[in-house]
Amino acid sequence: MAHSTQVQDVCAQIAVALSASSAVHYAGNESFKKLSEHWASSSNQVPACVVQPHTAEDVGKILKIIGKSRTPFAVMGGGHATSPFLSSTEGVHISTSAFTSIEYNEVTKTVKFGAGLKWEELYAALEQYGVSVPGGRMPGIGVGGFILGGGYSLHTNQVGLSFDSVVAFELVKPTGEVVEVTNESDPELFFALKGGGNNFGIVTKFTMKAFPQGQIWGGIITYADPTVFDAVNTATAKFSAESTDPKAVLLAYTTFAQGTPLLQAQVFYDGPEPPAGLFDEFLNISSVANTVATQSFTAMINAITISRDLAGVRAHSLGVPVPAAAYSLKFMTVLTEQLLSVGPELSDKSLIFLAFVSEPFLPTILSHNAHDTAYPFTRDAPYTPFGIFLAWGDPSQDTAMKGVIEKISEDLEKKLVEEGFKDVPTSPLYTNYALWDAPLERIYGTNLPKLQDIKGRVDPEDVMGLAGGFKVSPKAIVRDEL
């Protein structure tokens, strides 16, 4: 792909400005591909160059050059975004992959870590201290985008969303200035970074409160016999309605993989053994695979293979805000019926994997933060981040698959409204599950005017508007669909 002389000149300017430790990579260089490729191939674009800064100061130099030249750019950490245009570009691609430092403070019980890490790397490093932080639930997820978008973890019932545990952000402002943002130093910007994505600069480090982490009990149970699906759905609804233990978490997967319907239960208890009877219904149903064991948290995460197995597919994810009280047997049955209807229809369109991820967190998940946050724009009612995931192989099906996942989402929202959950169509969309063209009123809602005011103060030239993402600036870039 040919890139304009202007963008190529900007790449050259950046190369001259950077310190010796940082680098600029071009097509044909192995690092170029490694640092710009996303987990989902449908999220890739071919940039003019890839920049890998090693210091926050170098990030500042890059932003100043980009801002002056008005060059499109992207910021990518783990590269697990399943929406195109969010962390990809045909301009300057900035990789945060070199920011991998980890510093645990045993006195303050906090950990400061780089934005280029993946969660399994951070978990493994913290294990020696007997602590952890709330983060991704499978290998391969980058810390940066996950935290800035909110971050629902297996510890959400206990400590809230991932960014609820953040006490400081090291932020490179669009002006090039490097600052530490805390609730004390800049409460408005601290609020904005908790769900505001990349609108306000580039975060290079996070400081989070850590919590004690010992052995856990958990794993994934897989059910392949359709005659037990009703029992699995009944167990899911029962757990959602009755469980009040914040250490207990269930993720229920309704999936169609390579022509085969499967139900899976990811069970988790933050302790070496759950209370008697808590997950018995799931354990007693006939299954084809069961990885549940008492083990380290890191071991459980690393044993989840789905992310590695599907690397390189074309994919979309889309969330439906499901109220905590909505995971009834009727709703779970609707999911199975949807799966058995849609899955076979897509099999001749290169479908690889279709999944509905039910996440019946406790209604208290939004009560762990004393401060307001950009996401969700209302905490009056707890919505869980129910996810729809679709993976396929043929690029010619991109537009059709986007229509499919949107139709599934619309149908499920209508079902929830029929069940009495009238506010679902106007409730906050979880940004990490949203498509790139989601309406801002569903992303930021009533927080949008405040975020735009903060944006005007921190980024008056709208430098970050040159990057992808959900833009709060009135000058937001309008992007074409795939």
Q: How far apart are CA 410 and CA 96, in angstroms?
A: 35
pLDDT at residue 314 is higher than 60: yes
The burial class, CB within 10 Å (0-12 / 13-18 / 19+), for 90 is middle
Query: Taking the complete model, does pTM exceed 0.85, yes or no?
Result: yes
pLDDT the model gives residue 414: 94
Whether residue 425 has a cis bond before it, omega within 30° of 0: no
Contact 268, 282 (CB under 8 A): no
Q: What is the pLDDT of residues 220-263, one digit of tens each?
A: 999 999 999 999 999 999 999 999 999 999 999 999 998 899 99
Q: How far apart are CA 144 and CA 58, in angstroms?
A: 18
Domain map (residue ranges) of the chain: 7-95, 102-212+445-463, 216-433
**Which one has a higher pLDDT value, 30 or 202?**
202
pLDDT at residue 481 is higher than 80: no
Q: Is 96 helix (H, G, I), strand (E, B) or coil?
A: coil
Q: Which whole number is the average pLDDT over 288-299? A: 97
Q: What is the pLDDT of residues 428-463, one digit of tens each?
A: 999 999 999 999 999 999 999 999 999 999 999 999
Contact 315, 390 (CB under 8 A): yes
- 216-433 has which fold? Vanillyl-alcohol Oxidase; Chain A, domain 3 (3.40.462)
Q: Any idea of the CA torsion for 127, 131, 134, 138, to the nearest 10 degrees?
A: 20
pLDDT at residue 478 is higher than 80: no
Give 207's contacts (C-beta < 8 A, 6+ positions apart): 110, 111, 112, 166, 167, 168, 169, 170
pLDDT at residue 338 is higher than 80: yes
pLDDT the model gives residue 474: 57
pLDDT the model gives residue 476: 43
Residue at token pair 């996303």: 38
Q: What is the pLDDT of residues 378-417, one digit of tens each?
A: 888 889 999 999 999 999 999 999 999 999 999 999 999 9
Give 260's contacts (C-beta < 8 A, 6+ positions apart): 224
Q: Which residues pair with 223 in a beta bridge?
A: 263
Share of the chain above pLDDT 70, in %: 98
Nearest to 144 by CA among 73, 194, 77: 77
Q: How far apart are CA 358 and CA 283, in angstroms?
A: 18
Q: Which CATH number fits domain 102-212+445-463: 3.30.470.20, 3.30.465.10, 3.90.700.10, 3.90.950.20?
A: 3.30.465.10
Contact 309, 140 (CB under 8 A): no
The CATH code belonging to domain 7-95 is: 3.30.43.10
Residue by residue, DSSP assigns 406-444 as: HHHHHHHHHHHHHTT-TTGGGSPPPGGG--TT--HHHHT
Which pLDDT band, with edges at 50, 70 and 90, does 362 fall under? very high
Q: How far apart are CA 378 and CA 321, in angstroms?
A: 12
pLDDT at residue 273 is higher than 50: yes
In one-letter notation, the amino acid at residue 122 is: L
Residue by residue, DSSP assigns 461-477 as: T-SGGGB-S---STTPP
pLDDT the model gives residue 482: 35
Q: What is the pLDDT of residues 31-41, one digit of tens each?
A: 999 999 999 99
Nearest to 385 by CA among 418, 427, 352: 427
Calculate the average pLDDT of the chain: 94
Q: How far apart are CA 90 and CA 4, in angstroms?
A: 10
Tokens of 442: 């569903």
Residue at token pair 């790397």: 121
Helix (H) or strand (E) holding 258: none
Q: How far apart are CA 363 and CA 234, in angstroms?
A: 20
